[in-house]
Structure 1
């Protein structure tokens, strides 16, 4: 896959077939060249067809496969680390397999993708966006493993920002509150609560926020952005 013949920004989005990733792909369609990463299948194919994106099949639990998967990329301007997994549970209940999986997908995979894509993003003086979570700022009961992975993701972004500022690379962490996605539906089920999408952030609103970060003028750096659901009518 070579996108070197376009003058538009080339933006790679992980978790592109999910609620936030799909909304972001639609928000950027027509203004960015899109590389849409996911596990493959009909949902990813449908998002690519609707947005003109190029599919990139990645298994985030197998970082040893990333280099080969990325080998054909000609340009990458921006990377949006959006993919993630979540499983609620008390520390007393979740064994090492849960913690290992959570950290592998939510922290190790973004770190390895960043390492491999950094030379291309440096060439473009581009932007990394880490879609974090409110749980990356405060850990509540039952959220230990997920929050730990998101605290670590914040550390990754903070370190990268300091290391790459002299190369013109911008790094933003976005901390969304509860967003109306299928992941949130799962969370509400685990909490034994009703899923009411209108009470949460619309994925399209969050997508517009991320698009603003990517398109922000070069004389500004948006380092940390917290997004919360607005007041209910």
Structure 2
């Protein structure tokens, strides 16, 4: 059975991806920040299994995984979780920078490191759900964009390093998507949030599954998807 480990399964794009993979009958491992969240995800997605690890503290992930059962092999590792806090460079504190860098960059790097043996065994696929901010930085987006620019660098380096092991690496760059994170962004921007203006999470999920399902003789390296209409 095809096995996937997904971060960010509890909302937005992550939920849409989990629902699609569950419909296919795939084996799902969901990362939860704590035991309470793990129970919630297992109840919401019957048949799934959870790993507990907090992306806010990447330095503790190795210890946390050392006390849990890990999958024997992984066909994909899907990095979908993320956090965002906007603000001018002159106002952003180190704590705000570190929070976004930890969750959006350092934890994906550490999760990938810890799970590379399982990915190599399956000749698996690592998907980084990045952002348009990973390609350009707009005012008030410096910390988030820096974390996402770093995520692109991580993906590019990993792809070159793991090509000989048969591990594929894809970066997906969604534009604005109708998710709880987007509602928070609008609040921070002081703008009214209208979900109908933006892409549905299911549309981004289709993009991710397209990359996963590509025949083994090809690899999507970078894929941008934007709201249409």
Query: Which TM-score bucket, shorter chain as reference?
Result: over 0.9
Q: Where does residue 145 of structure 2 map in the other structure?
A: 147
Q: Which residue of 2 aligns with 1:188?
A: 186
> What do residues 76-131 of structure 1 show as CA deviations (whole Å, max 9, x unaligned)?
22100111110000000001111111111110000111111111100100000000
Give the counterpart of 2:133 among 132, 135, 151. Answer: 135
Q: Does 1:65 align with 2:60?
A: yes
2:87 counterpart SS class:
coil
* 1:124-170 CA distance string (max 9 Å, x none): 00000000000000000010000000000000000000111111000
Which structure 1 segments of 5+ residues have no match?
Answer: 1-7
1:166 aligned partner: 164
> Structure 2 stretches of 5 or more lacking a match?
none
Segment drifting more, 148-157 vs 18-27: 18-27
Tell me the distance in 2 between the aligned counterparts of 1:43 and 1:230. Answer: 34
Q: Secondary structure at the match of 2:172?
A: strand
Deviation of the 1:184 alpha carbon: 0.3
Runs of 4+ in structure 1 deviating by more than 6 angstroms, as ranges, are: none
Task: Give TM-score scaled by structure 2 length.
Answer: 0.93
SS in 2 for 1:201: coil
The CA distance in 1 between the partners of 2:36 and 2:198, in whole Å, is 27
**Count of paired positions:** 224
Q: Is the 8 A contact 2:53 2:65 kept in 1?
A: no
For 1:33, the equivalent position in structure 2 comes to 27
**Cα distance in 2 between the residues matched to 1:119 and 1:44:** 24
Who is 1:23 aligned against? Answer: 16
Q: Secondary structure at the match of 1:226?
A: strand
Q: Quote the Cα distance in structure 2 between the aligned partners of 1:103 and 1:153.
A: 9
Task: State the Cα distance separating 1:34 from its structure 2 match.
Answer: 0.5
Instruction: Give 1:47 deviation, angstroms.
Output: 4.1
- 8 Å CA contact retained: 1:17, 1:44: no
Counterpart for residue 4 of structure 2? 11
CA contact (8 A) 1:80 1:131 kept: yes
Root mean square deviation, CA, Å: 1.5
Where 2:160 maps in the other structure, the secondary structure is helix
Q: Is the 8 A contact 2:34 2:54 kept in 1?
A: no
Secondary structure at the counterpart of residue 28 of structure 1: helix
CA distance 1:55–1:180, shift in 2 (3 Å): same
Asked if structure 2 preserves the Cα contact closer than 8 Å seen for 1:172 and 1:224, the reply is yes
Structure 1 range deviating more: 29-38 or 194-203: 29-38
Q: Would the aligned equivalents of 2:52 and 2:64 in 1 still touch at CA under 8 Å? A: yes
2: CA distance, partners of 1:151 / 1:176: 14
The 1-side partners of 2:187 and 2:154 are apart by: 30
Aligned partners of 1:43, 1:63: CA distance in 2, in Å? Answer: 18
